[in-house]
Amino acid sequence: MTIAQTIQSFNPRRRAMRLIAGGPPARATLAGVVLAVAACATNQPSTMQTGPVEPRAGAWKTWVVTPATEPRVPAPPDASATAAELATVQSVAARRDAAALERIRYWDAGSPAYRWNEIAIETSAATNTTSVPGARAFTLMSVAIDDALVVAWKAKYTYNRARPGAADPGVATAVETPRSPSYPAEHAVVAGAASAVLAYIWPKDAQRFAELAEQAAQSRVAAGVQYPSDARAGLELGRAVAAQVIEYAKNDGFGKKWAGTIPTGPGLRKGTNPGFVEEATFKTWVLASPSEFRPGPPPAYDSSERAAEIAEVKNFKRTPQTTGLVNYWNYGAYGMPGTHIVWSREVSRKIFEQRLETNAPRAARLYSLVQIAHYDATIASQDAKYTYWTARPNQFDPTITTVIPTPNFPTYPSNAAAFMMAPAQVMAYLFPQDAAYYNRIGEEFGATRLWAGIHFKSDIDAGFAIGRGVGQKVIERAKNDLAQ
């Protein structure tokens, strides 16, 4: 569907009410969706209901860790040491109080990565970490969690350490015993990886993140489903993987200063201090380079096509509903731009719906795939912006009014169209019953940039093309990885 068709077919009142209420689209039964997701993503029978959890996840391809740099997970304690640890687990279980049970429930909600995504969201909002810095933070955290769990899953099925309840069926557990080996502890692995990366991004909160990591790890011992040594090994592994991701981040281009020259001429962006210009050269995750999907040039400044686009933006008939959607998509729940937050919560929602909470590696892979799609599409669209340096609509015609402030960077292509469409494509692949919904919101977010008066139709179409290209690259990666 084109932008024009989106505008013509859009029912603002019905769509706005559904978005404000947070209602999901109509979808098939849960069982049907679960089977469809499993078939689409893995080409294997579903193991979400019975059997061991993802025994082949240790063979999945990692993002940063390589066979040469993979942290070594030592063997778990021997039988005599395990017996002593079992006594500790039994003692801790016997002393659980209301506060301990509350901590267990807190960390047991969702997949092991869920709470860390929520912690990152709250920290991002509190520090006003928006745009690419926020997207980078979520991507680095998701990659660290994903890689750490792949290494952990290899160790789990290498050592096959039984859970405490297998040694003593009388152990009183506070949560359902996971269907995977005990060592190392998956919640501790995730906590070690996430806390270290978040401390790198937000160093002022490093102590808080470290304390939360300890709580997360110990919650599984207190729940009676893992040994103290499982928790210790998990934290160490997660931190070791995070250290490699942090080294990667130090060389990804973030923080470097742009030393180029702003071009001048008719139809080009006017002004100084172009925003986020250095992002055009950041290191990408799945793209060979930021320019891999660079579109051709925009319409010439003096062409009839450009004149028509100026008139389209100027004459668009705004309504309270369309303006409401502009603000909804631009500012989100926290009053600031942050589509990385939108996608974090959307992945969490699908994990809950599909009952994937106990499948730690698969849930982590979903977060990383979607955040990488979002990040690479942003970098790719910045590359194109600072190739063409095209003026915004209200620089072509100063009488054009906007709903939101005009960003201080070029118009072509639309970042929003690119970085919303790319993860939407990935989600449509991972959850095929919801494909129409994800395609629709990708197109809708792009359309709101024209409704806001800050983009031309050609900007949005070029952004969609970038987003679809990036999304397909991530999907190909998903097909190869999750088929293991």
Is the pLDDT assigned to residue 155 strictly greater than 90? Answer: yes
Is the pLDDT assigned to residue 24 strictly greater than 60? Answer: no
Is the pLDDT assigned to residue 132 strictly greater than 90? Answer: no
Is the pLDDT assigned to residue 41 strictly greater than 80? Answer: no
Q: State residue 239's pLDDT score.
A: 98
Note the pLDDT tens digit of each residue in 74-124: 999 999 999 999 999 999 999 999 999 999 999 999 999 999 999 999 999
Q: CATH 2.40.170.20: does it fit domain 3-36+276-482?
A: no
Is the pLDDT assigned to residue 15 strictly greater than 80? Answer: no
| Cα–Cα distance, 41 to 56 (Å, whole number) | 14
Q: State residue 338's pLDDT score.
A: 82
Note the pLDDT tens digit of each residue in 372-402: 999 999 999 999 999 999 999 999 999 999 9
Is the pLDDT assigned to residue 34 strictly greater than 90? Answer: no
Q: State residue 480's pLDDT score.
A: 78
Q: State residue 12's pLDDT score.
A: 34
**Average pLDDT of span 464-474:** 98
Is the pLDDT assigned to residue 27 strictly greater than 50? Answer: no
Same-fold call for 3-36+276-482 versus 92-249? yes
CATH classification code of 92-249: 1.10.606.20
Note the pLDDT tens digit of each residue in 444-466: 999 999 999 999 999 999 999 99
Q: State residue 407's pLDDT score.
A: 92
Domain boundaries, the chain: 3-36+276-482, 92-249
**Average pLDDT of span 353-375:** 97
User: Please, which pLDDT band fits residue 38 given cuts at 50, 70 and 90?
Assistant: very low
**Average pLDDT of span 1-29:** 34
Note the pLDDT tens digit of each residue in 315-336: 999 999 999 999 999 887 667 6
Quote the percentage of the chain above a pLDDT of 70.
88
Q: State residue 289's pLDDT score.
A: 97
Q: How confident is the prediction for the chain on average, in pLDDT?
A: 89
**Average pLDDT of span 18-46:** 33
pTM for the full predicted model: 0.89
Q: State residue 331's pLDDT score.
A: 87
Is the pLDDT assigned to residue 272 strictly greater than 70? Answer: yes
CB 418 within 8 A of CB 381: yes
Quote the percentage of the chain above a pLDDT of 90.
82
